[in-house]
Each structure stands twice: as C-alpha cells, then as structure tokens.
Amino acid sequence: MSRRIVVLGGGTGGTIMANRLRHVYDRDAAEIVVVDRDDSHVYQPGLLFVPFGLARPEEIVRSRRDQLHGGIEFRQATVAEVDLQAETVRLEDGGSITYDVLIVASGARLQPEETEGLTGSGWGERVFTFYDRPGAAGLAAALARFDGGRLVVNPVDMPIKCPVAPLEFAFLADWYLQERGIRDRTELVYVTPLDGAFTAPVASEHLGGLLAQKGIELVTEFATGEVDGGGRLISYDDREVAFDLLVTVPLHAGAGFVERSTGLGDDFGFVPTDPHTLQSKAAPGVFAIGDATNLPTSKAGSVTHFEADVLTGNIRRHLEGRELEGDFDGHSNCFVETGFRRALLIDFNYETEPLPGRFPVPGLGPLPLLKESRLNHMGKLMFQWFYWHVLLPGRDIPGVGSEMSMAGKHVADDSTPAEEN
C-alpha cells in the first residue's frame, strides 16, 4: 500500500529529504509531496559574499522544483496550519493534504520588527541585514558608498541561521576595507549577546583571537533592546554602541504555521524534536529537520545534511513499525571565512567542542581544523558546487559521515590561531 510523505519546506532540509526518500521508495511504495510558498531556492551561504561584490543575488537562486527528483510532487502553496489529530496539512488557498508521515523542514524566518526601532528610520539607509537577498543587495550598495566611520556588526540574539556568518562578515569587512584603502579610518565593532565571540569556548577563543588580531573591537553580553536609526544600538541595560553603518542579524523564529498549529511548536515557532532520532515530540508520525527544529546545535546546512542521513533511516523504520535509532550526535562542520583568501574549518557535535587536527582523513587532511588556510577558503568556495550537485540530490560526500569522527583530532595546547598555506 502506498504511503504519503509530506515535506513542508523546499529549502535545504526539505529538498535533501525528499530526494533521499525517493532513492528509498519507488512511486508505488510512497507518494512524496513537497510544499513551499515560492519556487525560489536560495543558496544561503552565498548571501555572505553579495555585500562584497563576490557574488550576485541572481547567481545564488534556482528553482525549487528543479532540484527535486522525478516522481516528487512540488506544490506551491502557503501552509495555514497542521492538524495533528487529523494528520492533515491545511493550506491558505483552502486545500488540504493528508499524510502518513510529515517532515517539517520550514526553516527559520527573520523578525526584524520584533526589535524596537530596527525597521524604523534607518532601515535600508544605514541599517541593513545580509540574511536575505534584498538586504544583501542593499548592503552591497551601502558598503560601496561607505567612506569610513564606525561599522558595527550585531547579531541581536541566538539562535540564528549559520551562527558564524556575522563573524565572517566582520572578517571580510576588514579585508574589503583594506582593499579599498579606508580601513585606517574605519572602526570595526562586533557586538554580541554572547559572553565571547562564539558559543563553544574553544572556537570562541580562536575566533576572538582573530578579531583582536585584525583590530576588530569585541563587545560582549550586549542584549540589543532598541535600534536608533540615527546611529545608536541600545541594550536592555541601557548600554549604547554608536554606529555609522549597522549590519544586523535580526531575531529568528520558526515558520508562522508552526506557531498556529496546536501542539506542533514551542513559543518561538520551532519544533520540539528528539535530539538523536529527529522525531517530533508532537506526534509519532511527525519529524523535523534543519532550522525548523529546536535542537541545541548550529542552524547550518552541514547539520541538515548530517541529520538527513539519520532521518531517512528513521522514517523507514517508522513506516515499517520498527524502533527508531538515536544516531544523530549533533555533528556540525563549518567553514569560517577570515578574509584575504583564508578560512578556518571547525568540526564539532553535541558533546565535543571544535578540535585541531586534519579533515576528513586523519593525519592527511587535506583540510586543517582550527587553522586559517587557503585550502579551507577553497573548500568554502567549492561547497557551492557540492551543495547543488551532491547535497541537494541526496548523495553522500565521500569520507564525510553523519557521525562526527574523532580520528585525527587532538586537544589544542594553545589558543593562538595558527596559519598555514
């Protein structure tokens, strides 16, 4: 008997899952339906490069429908809510879709309006975000006009998509301003709600060291409560940071339909999910992946790729009436652009912080961990090709498994970021 698997969201997680499941089930065994409100699939890591003229907005978007294997139905529609009792997805156009298995892959949405003053008088003039295409394009024009002053980068709060991206922006801004010859008349300031540059202490120490090395001021434990478009960030405890140009990462929340669906989401619209099986806590036949979950791991594309491997097996077990396996360990693998054609690579999971070593082959690499290198920068650039041609089609990356490998890693004996060519 054919089962219907409904995937809500045609982004990274939804596309990978639909394609992987089509590898597992032929059309007679399972009907797979992907629902999304538009047909524009954005390669989100590419948004970081747009403000610096290293990518154009139109280069990083493709049709969602075209990324899906044959035999997968793509329905362009907006989800109104999920009725867990009836196992039905209700659409805003009045239609509905019943399901045997539901995968929530609806990502995270920006909520700049939730911060007082952020979308006020300075929005689009001296206040920008690069976390969407219009914002990244507007910021590119603003940076081209920028002639010095105080440039502030501020993630308002966590969690956010790709938590290293604001740091990458600061590092690339240092490079960009030096290329333009105006770095000496620009103050670069990184303002974060965290108590350090990053969450994991080891990575935070390395990344904080790079900020200091590049002359980027670090302001910590700053809980942004208000943005004065005239040029002030104001915290809830009344601290102020002045700016001439503000690059903000707004508050994030889950999809609106998750909030509207009784029992599906938490107070922020994210789906409470078992951290190891990826089964939703709302109902046995509901699963979640990627940025839509409330998992204590990075909201990054690599995490979604690793989750998909585990989730594909567990959906198969669920449909066969077998016990799920708790194999996902929170594995995350991120390139961190540091400017001047160099990048760091960090590899970690729920239990283990980023460690130095070589990746993916112990002792050989070729990519060094927790070190700046040109090879890592090239790996970051090559990832876009892997994204479209390997990850989204549901293929595995040779030598990179869903479970974090400890082979070849060792405990760092100092906090100084090393360099190698």
Handedness of CA 278, 281, 283, 288 (dihedral sign): negative
d(CA 360, CA 375): 13
pLDDT of residue 411: 63
CA angle 273, 277, 281 (to 5 degrees): 30
Q: Which phi and psi angles does 16 have, rounded to 5°?
A: -60, -45
pLDDT of residue 96: 98
Residue 148 exposed, middle or buried by CB count within 10 Å (0-12, 13-18, 19+): middle
Query: Any idea what DSSP says for residue 135?
Result: H
Looking at this protein, which amino acid is placed at residue 122? G
- Helix axis angle, 301-319 to 12-24, nearest 10°: 40
pLDDT in tens, 30-71: 999 999 999 999 999 999 999 999 999 999 999 999 999 999
Q: Burial letters for 318-348: b for 16+ Cβ neighbours within 10 Å, e otherwise?
A: bbeeeebeebbbbbbbbbbbbbbebbbbbbb
pTM exceeds cut of 0.85: yes
Q: Which domains does the chain have, with CATH numbers?
A: 3-47+60-107+255-319 (3.50.50.60), 112-252 (3.50.50.60), 333-419 (no CATH)
Q: Which residues of the chain have pLDDT under 50?
A: 412, 414-421
Query: Any idea what DSSP says for residue 161?
Result: B
Looking at this protein, which amino acid is placed at residue 299? K
Q: What is the dihedral of CA 111, 112, 117, 121, to 10 degrees?
A: -140
Q: Is 272 helix (H, G, I), strand (E, B) or coil?
A: coil
